[in-house]
């Protein structure tokens, strides 16, 4: 069993994972370079965390970008949310008018989330299943089920 090295930065609500690797030297070099010009008490400084491979890590809540997009591709709502795995992916039709789709995209990059949801919107329209929740779930798969 190996070790997983997780590079993090920030504190409290600004805490985030910067990268994950199994190479300790690579992780240490990254932390040193990231922190080279930072003050010692800088809350944004990178730190290195170690976890045994396969132990102590379990998928819990995931940061997602909630995208509400109309049938014609207009973004009506765009925000972040910490969601349980079963709420990632397609959510529902409706909200902001009946012509909108709501999707939790597992990324905090807003541009990436909009692009991904827009591509799914195009697929839904091309298959003429807009508004049909069951067919959309069949096409994109069910949400991740909680175990």
pLDDT at 83: 78
pTM here is: 0.57
Q: Are residues 76 and 30 in the same domain?
A: no
Q: What is the pLDDT of residue 15?
A: 79
Q: How many domains does the chain have?
A: 2
Identify whether 104 is part of a domain. yes
Q: Per-10-residue mean pLDDT for the chain, 147 residues long?
A: 83 78 90 79 79 67 86 90 76 74 85 92 94 86 46
Domain membership flag for residue 16: yes
Instruction: Looking at the structure, tell me whether residues 43 and 85 fall in a common domain.
Output: no
Question: Are 136 and 68 in the same domain?
Answer: yes
107 is a domain residue: yes
Residues 41 and 105 in one domain: no
Assess if residue 125 is contained within a domain.
yes
Same domain, 40 and 95: no
**75 and 136 together in one domain:** yes
CA–CA distance, 13 with 103 (Å, rounded to integer):
23
**Residue 27 structural domain:** 3-52
Shared domain check, 43 and 100: no
pLDDT of residue 114: 94
CA distance 58 to 75: 33
Q: How far is residue 59's CA from residue 10's CA, in Å, rounded to a whole number?
A: 21
N-term to C-term CA, the chain: 24
Residues 78 and 132 in one domain: yes
Q: Can you give the pLDDT at residue 146?
A: 34
93 DSSP β-pair partners? 101
């Amino acid at each position: 069993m190996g070790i997983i090295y997780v590079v993090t930065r920030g504190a409290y609500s600004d805490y985030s994972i910067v990268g994950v690797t199994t190479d300790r030297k690579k992780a240490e070099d990254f932390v040193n370079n990231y922190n080279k010009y930072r003050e010692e008490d800088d809350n944004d400084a990178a730190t290195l965390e170690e976890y045994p491979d396969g132990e102590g890590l379990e998928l819990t809540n995931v940061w997602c970008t909630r995208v509400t997009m109309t049938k014609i591709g207009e973004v009506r709502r765009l925000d972040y949310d910490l969601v349980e795995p079963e709420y990632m992916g397609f959510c529902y039709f409706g909200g902001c008018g009946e012509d909108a789709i709501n999707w939790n995209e597992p990324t905090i990059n807003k541009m990436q989330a909009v692009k991904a949801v827009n591509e799914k919107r195009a697929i839904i329209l091309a298959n003429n299943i807009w508004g049909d929740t069951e067919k959309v779930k069949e096409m994109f798969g069910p949400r991740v089920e909680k175990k």
